[in-house]
Amino acid sequence: MITLALSKGRIFDETLPLLEQAGIRPLADPEVSRKLIIATSRADVRLIIVRASDTPTYVQYGAADLGIAGKDVLLEHGGAGLYQPLDLRIAVCRLMVAAPEGFDYAGSVQQGARLRIATKYVKTAREHFAAKGVHVDLIKLYGSMELAPLVGLADAIVDLVSTGGTLRANRLAAVEEIVPISARLIVNQAALKLKRGAIEPLLDAFARAVAARDQGNRRDAQAL
Ligand code: PRT
Ligand code: MG
């Protein structure tokens, strides 16, 4: 049995077409069903539904052989015990520093001000600001980071931005990009050795599905 860990929402939704292309159809919809273990059209492949930030942990300890996790989550986790063979180029966004419109971020940094930064991404943020030599006090939050500067909890935030709509709606502006983000296929290192015969064809199928999708997208773009 091969176990693939996925989170509900955008990761699941954007993985579905790739699974389909690899010949794997889930037998239940995690948005509807309360089941956390979902069988698939392939008797030897099952899905487990986990919190996005827990995916690397399930794979690291071998409770899942494979998983799909955002680069943001992988940076925070650290990647121990994981092999990361494939960028699926789904759930694309950017990890950014954002501050209230009108806040002079560059000026504050230049003057060596100490900044209060609210974020869920404490490890990645600490490394980013340390590399730039910026002094920060990091405040750990678990969600809705955008609120923190509006109510005086922080000067700025580190958060994911895709359309920019959430920042705009809260009169915040992105002031610095930390890293581009997309979701990666991750594999338990021991499972890859012990179940190579079953896992390697799956990796190949995912790689082909990604290549076929991107080729289709390029053709569509050319036809415009
Ligand atoms: O929701 P939960 O707390 O369980 O976990 P999660 O928020 O980590 O999970 P989920 O499913 O929301 O996100 C899973 C993965 O999708 C993340 O780990 C990222 O790799 C990826 N991803 C891609 C995003 C976004 N785009 C994104 N825009 N994750 C979150 N957002 C949020 C962002 O935090 C911000 O609040 O959407 C808001 C900004 O979106 P725009 O379009 O307004 O810019
Ligand atoms: Mg979310």
Q: Is the CB of 168 under 6 A from ligand 1?
A: no
Q: What top-level class would CATH report for the domain 2-91+182-223? A: alpha beta
Q: How far is the CA of 191 from the centre of ligand 2 (A)?
A: 29
The ligand placed nearest to the CA atom of residue 73 is: 1
92 has a pLDDT exceeding 90: yes
77 has a pLDDT exceeding 90: yes
Q: Which atom of ligand 1 is nearest to the CA of 53?
A: 8
Q: How far is the CA of 7 from the centre of ligand 2 (A)?
A: 10
Mean per-residue pLDDT, 192-200: 97
93-181: CATH topology is D-Maltodextrin-Binding Protein; domain 2 (3.40.190)
CA torsion through residues 102, 108, 114, 117, sign: positive
| Residues sharing a CB contact under 8 Å with residue 77, sequence separation 6 or more, in sequence order | 53, 56, 57, 60, 69
Q: Is the CB of 28 under 6 A from ligand 1?
A: no
pLDDT for the residue numbered 78: 98
Q: Is the CB of 222 under 6 A from ligand 1?
A: no
Mean per-residue pLDDT, 131-142: 97
Q: How far is the CA of 202 from the centre of ligand 1 (A)?
A: 26
Q: How far is the CA of 132 from the centre of ligand 2 (A)?
A: 28
Condensed to tens digits (0 to 9), the pLDDT of residues 93-118 reads 999 999 999 999 999 999 999 999 99
Confidence bin at 11 (pLDDT 50/70/90): very high
Residue boundaries of the structural domains of the chain: 2-91+182-223, 93-181
What is the DSSP annotation of 93-153? Answer: EEEEEEEETT--HHHHHHTT--EEEEES-HHHHHHHHHHHT--EEEEE-SS-GGGGGGGTS
Q: Which atom of ligand 1 is nearest to the CA of 71?
A: 20
Condensed to tens digits (0 to 9), the pLDDT of residues 31-62 reads 999 999 999 999 999 999 999 999 999 999 99
Lowest pLDDT segment from 44-48, 193-197, 215-219? 215-219
Q: Is the CB of 147 under 6 A from ligand 1?
A: no
Q: Is the CB of 162 under 6 A from ligand 1?
A: yes
Q: Determine whether 63 is exposed, middle or buried from the number of CB atoms within 10 Å of its CB (0-12, 13-18, 19+).
A: middle
Condensed to tens digits (0 to 9), the pLDDT of residues 138-194 reads 999 999 999 999 999 999 999 999 999 999 999 999 999 999 999 999 999 999 999
pLDDT for the residue numbered 224: 82
Q: How far is the CA of 30 from the centre of ligand 2 (A)?
A: 15
**Phi, psi at residue 3, to the nearest 5°?**
-110, 125
Q: Which atom of ligand 1 is nearest to the CA of 161?
A: 44
Q: How far is the CA of 43 from the centre of ligand 2 (A)?
A: 31
pLDDT for the residue numbered 120: 98
- Give the DSSP H/E element, type plus range, for residue 207: helix 196-223
> Are both 2-91+182-223 and 93-181 of the same fold?
yes
Residue whose CA is closest, atom 23 of ligand 1? 91
